[in-house]
Amino acid sequence: MPKAGIIYNDIKPTACRIAQELEQQLTERGWQVKLATGAGGILGYSQPNRPTCHTPIDHLVPPEFDDRMEFAIVLGGDGTVLSAARQVAPCGIPMLAVNTGHMGFLTETYVNHLSEAIASVEKGEYTIEERMMLTVRVYGHRDRLSTSSSVWEALCLNEMVLHREPLTSMCHFEIQIGQHAPVDMAADGIIVSTPTGSTAYSLSAGGAVVTPGVPVLQMMPICPHSLASRPLIFSDRDPVTIYPVYPNQLVMVVDGNGGCYISPEDCVIVEKAPYAARFIRLTSAEFFRILRDKLGWGLPHIAKPTSVELP
């Protein structure tokens, strides 16, 4: 019996209703269906008295989701897709993302086209697009980094952000990319993003848009204190090691979803993950079309001033 999964946003009535209907429909057509909520992939936020509270990467996989599952249908918005990616990436399960939210930048289809999409998937009429993910790990006691184990870890599809509280306060970071010489950067915060994340927070902060298939990462200072501190794009083979040069705690956020406090003796290492987010594409992936439809990139300037006769 073929096996499929459904991951849905349980705080949205529409997603809950569709998940129940879809489970019944697939079961009647001979599928073994397993349900999970997107809440299972939410990282949660640490508290000052529990600065490194987290769930290990491989513990976010929902019960009975495994590599025998042919696909998982994700019902929600971009936040649900980000959570679902952390849940299924360790098993390599492809995701069919169905937009029940607003922007839906990461989704493939809409609810009103769901029946046709499922039919195409059952017939095998689709391709799989792999998107790079990152592992973000926090290590304590930077002077014993080679022997210490991580105290916090997470999978990341969009970006990692490290900043002070409040965000409008500047601090210093010592950053090393791969084996290159360390650099010092003064800014309100630091963003390290994937190509997928280049259209998220990094874009809002002034970063470049990177097409998904390019094997690079982007480091973006938030409101840097120097004209020389600009966004940097570099090979995804190079890990990024960040040391906070600041006497108080910082805050790290992953995919805008959860994170932990970073103390002065900690360091953060960001590198390409061994897992990829696998998206089911019903048509050929056309990134520029998505940029145009979702973000208005490249639209023609059709509003032109009319000629006015002066009196």
With bands split at pLDDT 50, 70 and 90, how would you rate the model's confidence at 184?
A: very high
- Mean pLDDT, range 72-83, rounded to an integer: 95
**Both tokens assigned to 27:** 């079961």
Name the active-site residue from 58, 67, 78, 143: 78
pLDDT of residue 28: 95
User: At CA 91, angle to CA 89 and CA 94, rounded to 5?
Assistant: 60
- Check if 66 is active-site: no
Binding positions for NAD(+) are 78-79, 158-159, 188, 199-204, 257
Q: How much is the average pLDDT of 170-179? A: 93
What is the rounded average pLDDT of the residues 287-298?
A: 87
Q: Residue 237: which pLDDT band, with cuts at 50, 70 and 90?
A: very high
pLDDT, tens digit, 9 for 90 and up, residues 238-281: 999 999 988 888 999 999 887 788 888 889 999 999 999 999 99
How far CA 141 is from CA of 147, 162, 182, 243, 261, in Å, comes to 10, 18, 18, 11, 14
Contact yes or no for 72/95 (Cβ under 8 A): yes
Q: Give the lowest-confidence range in 56-65, 130-139, 163-172, 240-249.
A: 163-172
User: What pLDDT, on a 0 to 100 scale, did the predictor assign at position 271?
Assistant: 97
Inter-residue contact 276 to 135 (CB < 8 Å): no
Confidence at residue 147, expressed as pLDDT on a 0 to 100 scale: 52
Binding site: which residues? 78-79, 158-159, 188, 199-204, 257
> What is the per-residue pLDDT across 54-71, written as a single tens digit (0 to 9) for each?
678 888 999 999 999 999
* 49 — pLDDT class (breaks 50, 70, 90): low
Predicted pLDDT of residue 52: 59
Q: Report, as an integer, the average pLDDT of 186-190.
A: 93
